[in-house]
């Protein structure tokens, strides 16, 4: 009823299509152009951009890849619902699948072990790192588990439940250090405080003990 003053569309559907189009435009002109390797479809920092190199930052850390993946996955889902761009669905899904496959492989193979009869993980900031002297912080890891949980809901990425349950086991048996107490890193070391970021509660889908730990601490 506002008269469409900004020209985004008269109906909610029109405006949704405009928003999706603007996201596609951002991908074509920036994200796909600079941060996705053409052959592997992996998310990587640009190697031919001096300005990017000058800020000494990265996009291939697991938590940062998951931020990219969230946008690509949601756009694939949007185009699938709209039925308007099968090529984009395929392209976006290929990027997310390459990313989550790499990240999950890095988490699984870094330093798995058995605790209380269940497999748990320890992992690094980067999916390809073999530096066992460092472990991911629980703050960064919140986005790691969010991204993997989100990706697990889309069959196109082929994520096995058996590879995901150890993430929940890690929270219950390693990160949780007692009532409302949690470690600073995913290997159970240090002290992060008396609660975890809300993304962690998603792991309750894979271990019922997660909800009580995270929710009670939040309360």
What is the reported pLDDT for 41? 97
What is the reported pLDDT for 99? 98
Whether the per-residue pLDDT at 53 is higher than 90: the answer is no
pLDDT in tens, 14-48: 999 999 999 999 999 999 999 999 999 999 998 88
Q: Which two tokens stand for residue 145?
A: 């588990």
pLDDT in tens, 154-181: 999 999 999 999 999 999 999 999 999 9
pLDDT in tens, 86-145: 999 999 999 999 999 999 999 999 999 999 999 999 999 999 999 999 999 999 999 999
Q: Classify 119 as helix, strand or coil.
A: strand
Q: How far is CA 184 from the centre of its chain?
A: 19
Whether the per-residue pLDDT at 7 is higher than 90: the answer is yes
Q: Which two tokens stand for residue 37?
A: 């390797």
Distant-in-sequence, close-in-space partners of 184: CB < 8 Å, separation ≥ 6: 137, 138, 190, 191, 192
What is the reported pLDDT for 110? 95
- Say if residues 42 and 99 touch (Cβ distance below 8 Å): yes
What is the reported pLDDT for 174? 97
Q: How far is CA 22 from the centre of its chain?
A: 22
CA–CA dist 162, 218 (Å, integer): 28
pLDDT in tens, 173-217: 999 999 999 999 999 999 888 999 999 999 999 999 999 999 999
Written as one string, the DSSP assignment of 25-94 is HHIIIIIHHHHB-TTT--B---SS-HHHHHTT--S-SHHHHHHHHHHHHHHHHHHHHHTS-HHHHHHHHH
């Amino acid at each position: 009823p506002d008269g469409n003053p900004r020209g985004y569309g008269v109906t909610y559907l029109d405006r949704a299509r405009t928003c999706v189009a603007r996201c596609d435009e951002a991908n074509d002109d920036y994200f796909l152009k600079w941060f996705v390797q053409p052959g592997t479809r992996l998310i990587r920092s640009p190697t031919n951009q001096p300005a990017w190199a000058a800020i000494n930052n990265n996009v291939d850390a697991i938590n940062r890849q998951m931020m990219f993946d969230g946008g690509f996955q949601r756009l694939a889902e949007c185009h699938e619902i709209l039925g308007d761009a099968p090529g984009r669905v395929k392209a976006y899904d290929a990027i997310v699948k390459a990313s989550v496959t790499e990240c999950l492989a890095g988490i699984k193979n870094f330093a798995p072990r058995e605790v209380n009869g269940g497999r748990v993980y320890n992992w690094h900031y980067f999916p390809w790192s073999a530096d066992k002297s460092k472990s991911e912080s629980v703050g960064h890891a919140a986005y790691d588990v969010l991204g993997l949980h989100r990706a697990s809901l889309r069959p196109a990425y082929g994520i096995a439940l058996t590879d995901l349950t150890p993430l929940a086991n890690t929270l219950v048996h390693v990160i949780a250090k007692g009532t409302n107490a949690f470690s600073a890193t995913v290997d159970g070391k240090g002290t992060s405080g008396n609660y975890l970021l809300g993304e962690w509660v998603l792991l309750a889908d894979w271990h019922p003990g997660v909800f009580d730990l995270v929710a009670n601490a939040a309360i």
